[in-house]
């Protein structure tokens, strides 16, 4: 089974316009993410899917392939599906968020392994136990509840589960998604669903359509870039470790 990673990178981010081009530790965010993906031995091709020639030029300057997509695509997954449809011969498609500058093999390889080992799984993603109480209340942190076998029950920007009794378990979704290519192309044909529209969460479209999502627990956290404060936190983190992985 062959795996391709596609990084959706649109210019018009609501909270941080031009986000893929912003320098983090002196490296444009889109290039930093692509370099993190390139460290995985289980990804054979990396493509930046963007609606902007400036982002494509920066990606190519950094040594990565870029494909221009329409500006009116509804979501990142739709942008990934657009490129996946154009490119033949791939079994697994990874949707790697352009705001995840700390992505690496430990966040990619387990998802690929799940799809290779279990033919019933159509989508796999990472979940991390929430350790900071403020993240539970933060709508930018997507909470997830799942069954004991790892099948997702629901995703929300609200705190779920409701803590009626103490010590409720809270998990968040982080990092990339892994899809079977055929499933991703079918998903892209379906219009946004009511819950997806309400919470602005693509994963809910999959659940509302009756499909399952496999959650893979990880111990490593990440810093997703949505605000200028996130960039400052990320640069402090990279400076603290000497940015050795880049």
Which pLDDT does position 243 carry in this prediction?
A: 61
pLDDT single digits (tens) 20-64: 999 998 999 999 999 999 999 999 999 999 999 999 999 999 999
In terms of residue numbers, what domain contains 147? 3-241
CA–CA gap between residue 35 and residue 244 (Å, rounded): 13
- pLDDT tens for the chain, 246 residues long, are 999 999 999 998 777 889 999 999 899 999 999 999 999 999 999 999 999 999 999 999 999 999 999 988 878 888 999 999 999 999 999 999 999 999 999 999 999 999 999 999 999 999 999 999 999 999 989 999 999 999 999 999 999 999 999 999 999 999 999 999 999 999 999 998 999 999 999 999 999 999 999 999 999 999 988 888 888 999 999 887 766 444
What backbone phi and psi angles, to 5 degrees, belong to 99?
A: -90, 5
Residue 246 located in a structural domain: no
Q: Are 143 and 54 in contact (CB under 8 A)?
A: no
pLDDT single digits (tens) 185-210: 999 999 989 999 999 999 999 999 99
Residue 56's SS3 state is helix
CA–CA gap between residue 139 and residue 36 (Å, rounded): 26
Residue 162 located in a structural domain: yes
Which pLDDT does position 185 carry in this prediction?
A: 96
| CATH number of domain containing 183 | 3.90.550.10
Q: Are 98 and 7 in contact (CB under 8 A)?
A: yes
CA–CA gap between residue 179 and residue 131 (Å, rounded): 28
Which pLDDT does position 135 carry in this prediction?
A: 95
Which pLDDT does position 72 carry in this prediction?
A: 87
Number of structural domains (the chain) is: 1
CA–CA gap between residue 88 and residue 82 (Å, rounded): 12
């Amino acid at each position: 089974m062959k795996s391709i990673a596609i990084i959706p990178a649109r210019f018009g981010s609501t909270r941080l316009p031009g986000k893929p081009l912003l320098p983090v530790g002196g490296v444009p965010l889109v290039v930093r993410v692509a370099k993190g993906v390139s460290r995985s031995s289980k990804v054979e091709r990396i493509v930046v899917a963007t609606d902007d020639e400036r982002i494509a030029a920066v990606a190519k300057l950094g040594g990565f392939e870029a494909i221009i997509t329409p500006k009116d695509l509804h979501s990142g997954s739709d942008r990934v599906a657009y490129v996946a449809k154009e490119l033949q011969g791939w079994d697994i498609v990874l949707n790697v968020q352009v705001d995840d500058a700390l992505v690496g093999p430990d966040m990619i390889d387990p998802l690929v392994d799940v799809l290779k080992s279990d033919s019933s799984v159509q989508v796999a993603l990472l979940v991390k136990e929430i350790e900071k109480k403020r993240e539970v209340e933060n709508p930018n942190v997507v909470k997830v509840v799942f069954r004991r076998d790892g099948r997702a029950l629901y995703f929300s920007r609200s705190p779920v589960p409701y803590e009626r009794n103490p010590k409720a378990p809270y998990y968040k979704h982080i990092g990339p998604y892994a899809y079977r290519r055929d499933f991703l192309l079918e998903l892209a044909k379906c219009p946004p669903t009511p819950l997806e529209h309400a919470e602005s969460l693509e994963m809910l479209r999959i659940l509302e359509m009756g499909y399952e999502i496999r959650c893979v627990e990880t111990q490593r956290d990440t810093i997703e870039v949505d605000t200028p404060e996130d960039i400052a936190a990320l640069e402090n983190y990279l400076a603290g470790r000497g940015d050795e992985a880049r």
